[in-house]
A and B are shown apart, each in its own frame.
Chain A
Amino acid sequence: MNAETLVQLLYLVSTGLFIMSLRWMSDPETARKGVFSGVAAMALAVAGTLAGVFAIGGTHYWWILAAFAVGAGVGYPLAQVPLTAVPQRTALSHAFGGLAAGLVGSAKYFLYFGQKNEAALSPFIVIALVAEILLGFLTFTGSLLAAGKLQEVKWIPQRPVTYPMQNVSNLGLFLLALGLGVALVLNPLAAWAPYAFLLVILLSLAFGVLLIIPIGGADMPTVISILNSYAGLSAVAMGFVLNNKLLIIAGALDGSSGLILSIIMCKAMNRSFANVLFGAFGQAQQSAAAGEQKSYKADTPESAAQVLAQANLVVIVPGYGMAVAQAQHKVRELYDLLKKRGVTVKFAIHPVAGRMPGHMNVLLAEAEIPYDDLVEMDEINGDMPQADVALIIGANDVVNPAARADKGSPIYGMPIIDADKARTVYAIKRSKNPGFAGIDNELYFLDKTFMLFGDAKAVVGELAKALSGEGMH
């Protein structure tokens, strides 16, 4: 068996393991097997590649080893971040993925150009190269900016930045990059070609920034999913350039995963891709004026605790506010205390609650709340009329009844958790300001709604304290 065949066989096994890795993610029971399978697949891929390169007389092994070591050294601490920072970490790793693809694409082009290698720069290869660097570099800067927004870095604006002609100028830049791409496909070896290539890189870098600045926090789950998809597709393009099927398949798996997540996120907000990317939420302020006359009813944690203790079914609706306040462990305390009193407690999880898909599930799992009690929106809504209390912890738009009734509202049509159908609603909220989308929430003005103002962690802590105090009679 020659080296070539061996490499291909290793790649074949690796491909199968990658597919099984995702397959095993279908159930929390088997999911960890999925990780091991993925690790094995990656190990085979790397081993096979090193063997293949060695067989053709490759060099720089010490340097390659050093790059592995430094990468592992940076990767290890990145895996130890608190779970509230997982969205930022994910965005950052999309940035790394995009950069890697962009750099390999650039290296390949300049290598072939330097060799005046006409055969290697066939139209198909150049199309793939241009796609690779476009996707790679725009994912790089876009994801860096998204990570910065999620981390709330001071000099990065949190609110969507919009300006006149935004979409038109973005489209213009994109068409310019596309035009340069076409010129490169036709003349990959022209004297001006490397400059055109560099210009495409610069345009892609700029494009990534311009795509993300008009996007607000509430849209982050969708945007992160789209960037996930781009990172995968750039790996596919690299696979086309290198004629490597393993790259194509693994990249396509990542690309389709990102695609499905973005579709789920878009459906959960009743918006289209185009609307998320090009229709910044900046225009949302008009409806706020109407709600100004109404007033909230505030309540104390002590009396709220009494109501909770009397309930049969309590549905907790967590949102980004719970993540920001890192309140999940206090929530777990409250959950335990209520359970001890025979109260049934369920968590209602909206698909876009938080800043990335599945964000709330991970935080609640970290607090060791059994996943049987984390219920999806569609399932819990049928039970909401039977709920004695809906306790909203730092969620806003996902429980706003305006999405059902108010045709003028920017979130009209978005599926929501029917918290307003519960007998009593308690809402924990940091301040009296409207949520991220800048929309007033009618739920807070209902007769059955009581507000608990304050930091989610502190308020839930007080609720738990009041409940445990009563238990000592």
Chain B
Amino acid sequence: MKLIHVTEPTAPSAGHAGGGHGQLDVMGALFVFMLATFIGVMVVQRVSRLLHTPLMSLTNAISAIAVVGAIIVSAGKDYPIYITALGLVAIFCSTTNIVSGFLITDRMLKMFKKREPSSTGASK
């Protein structure tokens, strides 16, 4: 089973071929999807409500994992030029999200501070 496909323009790649092998891939992918969704739901339910905004910008950056697909499309050899162009624009979009998503999440998280013990002591 191939994880990466840069399909040759002429021959269909093995991973995409029909028949038993392809069927297995489909089911495997669906299992992975279901399990990942459950993990996601359980992990996110535990995220502090204080951090819902940073959570969203972090998941923005994570969903920019689309960059993987964009690279695969852009790097294909002998692809028509417009295919490469679409891939490159997608790389641009995803990179924008990766960079801005992680940076702004960290910027926000740095601001969350606990009350300093000294300041509460002084106020009373």
Contacts and interface: CB of A to CB of B under 8 A. Distances in A.
Q: Does more than half of chain B's interface fall in helix, strand or loop, or is it mixed?
A: helix
B3 to A, nearest CB: 5
Interface in B6-60: 6-7, 9-10, 12-13, 15-18, 22, 25-26, 29, 32-33, 36-37, 39-41, 43-60
A257 to B, nearest CB: 5
Interface string A8-50: 1001000000110111011111011011001101100110011
Q: Does more than half of chain A's interface fall in helix, strand or loop, or is it mixed?
A: helix
Interface residues of A, number: 130
Interface string B100-115: 1111111111111111
A235 B54 contact: no
Given A38-B61, A253-B62, A370-B115, A243 B68 contact: no
B86 A106 contact: yes
Interface string A74-107: 1110110101001001100110110111011011
B99 A79 contact: yes
A107 B18 contact: no
Contacts of B112: 28, 31, 361, 365, 371
B113 A368 contact: yes
Contact of B65 (A74, A228, A246): A246
Contact of B68 (A111, A247, A362): A247
Contacts of A372: 114-115
A250 interface: yes
B72 A100 contact: no
B123 A357 contact: no
A394 interface: no
A21 B58 contact: yes
Given A60-B74, A342-B124, A257 B59 contact: yes
A357 B80 CA distance: 43
Contacts of B102: 35, 38-39, 42
Nearest to A241: B69
B58 A104 contact: no
A470 interface: no
A145 interface: no
Nearest to B6: A56
B54 A362 contact: yes
Given A104-B70, A250-B65, A252-B33, A357 B56 contact: yes
Interface of A: 4, 7-8, 11, 18-19, 21-23, 25-29, 31-32, 34-35, 38-39, 41-42, 45-46, 49-50, 52-54, 56-61, 63-64, 66-68, 70-72, 74-76, 78-79, 81, 83, 86, 89-90, 93-94, 96-97, 99-101, 103-104, 106-108, 110-112, 114-115, 117-120, 122, 124-125, 224-225, 228, 231-232, 234-236, 238-261, 264, 339-340, 342, 349, 351, 356-359, 361-362, 365-366, 368, 370-374, 376
22 contacts: A7-B4, A21-B58, A38-B62, A41-B62, A53-B4, A58-B75, A58-B76, A60-B88, A64-B75, A67-B95, A79-B100, A94-B60, A97-B64, A101-B66, A122-B18, A245-B29, A255-B37, A342-B123, A342-B124, A370-B115, A371-B50, A372-B114
